[in-house]
Structure 1
Amino acid sequence: MERKVLGGRVAIVGCGSRAAMFVHGIVARPSSSVAAFCEPNSVRAAYYNKLLVSLGAQEVPVYKPEKFKEMLEKEKVETVLITCVDALHDLYIVPALEAGVNVLTEKPMTTDADKCRRILETVNRTANHLTVTFNYRYNPVHELVKRTLAEGKIGNVLSVHFEWLLDTVHGADYFRRWHRQKTNSGGLMVHKSGHHFDLVNWWLDSVPVTVVGMGRLAFYGRENGTKHGWAKDYVRARGSQEAKIDQFAIHIEQDELLKNIYADAEGEDGYHRDQNVFAPDIGIEDDMAVLVRYESGATMTYHLTAYSPWEGYRVMFNGSHGRLELEVVESEYRLPADEGGLHHGTSALPHAGGARVTLQRLWEKPQDLPIVIDHSAHGGGDVRMLSKLFGPLPGETQEAGDASKQGATERDGALALAVGVMANESFRAGKFVNFEDLGFLL
């Protein structure tokens, strides 16, 4: 269904780095404004109020999480935007739906089946819906893939192979932060691969039925770092001499945003943004192989590597009448000195490469389909998504685009989550896991 333009008085839950893109996008549109922040760390919230002032807006009230419902009423909130720790999303989604306000949440919608069922039950009970900000849907190259498949250019899709490579700056960053514990993020199968699982669900217009996989911590962590010769002995980089010679360390005092919202805010909550990626307490995988069967009969093999020298992805579709290949090189290589990539999604990665979409029908020569490569955040997806969610910028017309411009709903969020949750369970139990076992009320 077509989603209405959101906005109006927007309350933002969570003042981490991802909130910055939304603050800029909201303030730039006269029809929307930031009405309040919900954030437990006052230093972090103060930084975002200073950002509002620098953009020509006024400071807004800051509420602690326990005052969330009070904020909705007192500030006459029309839209809630949730950008906090993944595992906490449901704590705000459910009461916001019950209050009848518009709900936007960063992906993943949540992190496990129980929380997902709670959200879906609330949607069914209230008849209110939410939007999950799957920005990859808005990338024009991904739209081209969707159109090509939907037009039947390769016939019925029989199988898909998806290889995703995270490099040793961007990929390593998930092992420095709160994401390194599965209780916070659901692991990379949920936090990161949810992007891709949503894309494949949407590309195939089908539902995942069965998942089996193997995942392990193969590169990061103390044992692996010692074995491969990368490990350094420190807990976090700030104040450590050893970290100064660690190619995997980041130094948050040298980056203005990271200093303001993390280094300067440590005194309130003790959160360290610069932890050692070769520490002994990492609880997520960095190398995962998954096999998925869909309701359409198609299968997907998916592999995520979080320690690659380059970053990007390759997707191959095999159909009854041909083959479609997508290759995107987001970064051809990385250097330890690169600071880009620490603010994921705000700009292109350093050393950006190209993209290619190749169509080859049976008995025909391959042809590279014409594409426009956009090196802005998420391949141009963020700009288009903001335009869809909050309306066009002044003086601009909203790009209509494809059917992909319909925002992802709670159903899409649940289906993307389902693949990651089933994969995690398969890693744990060593068995095939079925969608029906999750008990989602779609």
Structure 2
Amino acid sequence: MKTYALIGTGGRAEFYYGAIARDFKDTCKLVAFCDSNQTRMDYSNTLLEEKYDHAVVNTYKAHEFEEMIAKEKPDVIVVTTMDRTHHTYIVKALHLGCDVVTEKPMTVDAEKCQEIIDAINETGREVKVTFNYRYAPHNTKIRELILDGAIGDVFSVNFEWALNTQHGADYFRRWHRDKRNSGGLLVHKSTHHFDLVNFWLGTSPEMVYAQGGLRYYGKENAEARGVTDFYQRSHGSEAAKDDPFAIQMADNPHLKAMYLDAEKEDGYQRDQSVFGDGINIEDTLGVMVTYKNKAILNYSLNAYLPWEGYIVSFNGSKGRIEVNVREQSYINSGGNKEDEGRLKERSIKVLPMFGKAYEVEVEEGKGGHGGGDPLLLQDLFGTPVEDRFNRAASHVDGARSILTGIAGNRSLQTGQAVRVDDLVRF
């Protein structure tokens, strides 16, 4: 039986410790929580007891991370902290003899990515990165169609991702709004999308050029949005009561217990105004990527649209694939986790060069992300089965996905195209 300790008990943590406690208790054992905030750890232990019928586990403050490993001797560390600290705990865990499962993105910049790669090479330990979108049946089907030559060699991809005014706005309320914490949406969110392109095409990025900016959110755009009554955060604000972008944590027991009640320890405010000061990430992004197999990608991300999902088309030597997916909007820690990525509408259409177009049927599985989440969890905590599509993601996959976004961030700064191989050494 493998033992696990988890560091970072915020919004994404329950996805992992809940699965261990509920679905994999015969093969996995959770031994400890680690966090900078005791209130959140205590709440996670309450959920373990009341929701999963699991005994409470020992808790350690973040500065006691090495002590936790020495005392609990976990086989694997699950990292679900703020993005900018992922590398700290990954590298320490590897050198202390643990393997690692890390939430995406693996880290936020090239220097931290290099530290992780070097630690893996030095220790021989394993890092798994959790790309649940790979496991969604429709995304796996796209990989299958391309792998089986349905449209021949893929020469270009057009990929538009839409975040709506519920989900997209949420990145501008919380710690993600500071690029130092998250790498911006090109790293934190787009890592999913860039990984999908790597996965679908079976290749890796070579050259990246990006443009974008903060066009909708932020105080500099407030007047254009008709906002005149400013507030710093929603809780306790009269102005926020009529703001469709505000969330009321006091009205949501889960958000209240995890964040509002925990503020007394670290001052973190989960409900900041999306039209306030302090936002330095982009909400409108366009990226062009050239891949090592000579395919090109035109990618766009907008975080303020009236629908949630993506449109992607693949142009190949034997035809074209068109994909249209609408997803259920979701706020991290604010909604039903089973609704995360739940499909509202989906179509995959193949248009052969000299044949009749046809729709591809895909059976949706149970669970989040169209049934992808349970398959990911099985790979992480269960007994992996043979997988023709190699969906389990290693640190190399994790690096290749974020390096597209990291290169994009450098391109935004310099106005120049950036060569990915110049960023890190494997």
TM over 0.5: yes
Are residues 75 and 342 of structure 1, via their aligned partners in 2, closer, same or farther at CA, if it must alter by over 3 Å?
A: closer
Picking from 196, 218, 232, the partner of 1:235 is: 232
User: Does 2:32 match 1:36?
Assistant: yes
Q: 1:22 aligns with which of 12, 16, 19?
A: 16
Are 2:420 and 1:429 aligned? no
Deviates more, 1:408-417 or 1:228-237: 228-237
Aligned length: 423
Partner residue in 2 for 1:173: 170
Shift of 1:350: 9.8
Q: What pairs up with 1:211-250 in 2 under 5 angstroms? A: 211-230=208-227, 232-250=229-247
Tell me by how many angstroms 1:436 deviates.
2.2
Aligned residue type for 2:353: L
Q: What TM-score results when the alignment is normalised by the length of structure 1?
A: 0.92
The alignment's TM-score, normalised by the length of structure 2, stands at: 0.96
User: 2: distance between equivalents of 1:351 and 1:77?
Assistant: 33
1:404 corresponds to? 390
Give the C-alpha shift of residue 341 in structure 1. 6.2
Question: The residue matched to 2:344 in structure 1 has which SS?
Answer: coil
After TM superposition, the structure 1 = structure 2 runs for residues 6-405 of structure 1, keeping only pairs within 5 Å, are 8-28=2-22, 29=24, 30-54=26-50, 55-230=52-227, 232-331=229-328, 343=334, 346-348=337-339, 353-374=344-365, 376-391=367-382, 402-405=388-391
Rounded Cα–Cα distance in structure 1 between residues aligned with 2:296 and 2:346: 24
Contact 2:79–2:103 (8 Å) recurs in 1? yes
CA deviation after TM superposition for structure 1 residue 347, in Å:
2.4
Which residue in 2 is equivalent to 1:395?
none
Decide which moves more: 56-65 or 12-21: 56-65
Amino acid aligned to 2:102: T
CA distance in 1, matches of 2:418, 2:296: 15
Q: Distance in 1 between matches of 2:19 and 2:366?
A: 18
Deviation at 1:321, TM superposition (A): 0.5
- The answer to which of 94-103 and 349-358 deviates more is 349-358
Alpha-carbon distance, 1:67 to partner:
1.3
Structure 1 residues 150 and 231, CA gap change in structure 2 (3 angstroms): farther
Asked whether the 8 Å contact 1:210–1:433 carries over to 2, the reply is yes
Q: Deviations over 1:247-271 (max 9, x none)?
A: 1000011111110010000000000
1:11-53 Cα deviation digits (max 9, x unpaired): 0100101111112100022211210011111110000111111
> What per-residue deviation string (whole Å, max 9, x for no partner) do you get for residues 195-242 of structure 1?
010110111111101000101000000121211214541000000000
Instruction: Tell me how far 1:98 sits from its aligned partner.
Output: 1.2
Q: 1:232 to 1:193 in 2, by over 3 A?
A: farther
Q: Residue by residue, what CA displacement relative to the aligned partner does 1:133-157 show, whole Å, maximum 9, x if unpaired? A: 0111111111100010001110000
1:4 corresponds in structure 2 to: none
Deviation at 1:404, TM superposition (A): 3.4
Which residue does 2:425 correspond to in 1? 441
Shift of 1:399: 7.0
CA RMSD, Structure 1 to Structure 2 (Å): 1.8
Give deviations 1:250-300, integer Å, cap 9, x for gaps: 001111111001000000000000000001220100000000000000000
CA–CA distance in 1 between the matches of 2:342 and 2:53? 33
Contact preservation (8 Å) 1:232, 1:278: no
- CA deviations on 1:340-359 (whole Å, 9 max, x unpaired) are 66547812269952111111
Is contact 1:167–1:307 with CA below 8 Å preserved after alignment? yes
Return the letter of the residue paired with 1:46: D
Q: What SS does structure 2 have at the residue aligned with 1:404? A: coil
- CA, structure 1 residues 341+60, in 2 after alignment: closer, same or farther (shift >3 Å)? closer
* 89-98 vs 352-361, which moves further: 352-361
Equivalent pair of 1:169/1:341 in contact (CA under 8 Å): no
Report if aligned partners of 2:135, 2:371 keep a CA contact under 8 Å in 1: yes
For 1:321-354, what per-residue CA distance to the aligned partner results, in whole angstroms no more than 9, with x for missing partners? Answer: 10011111014xx7xxxx8665478122699521
Point out where structure 1 has 5 or more consecutive residues left out of the alignment: 1-6, 393-397
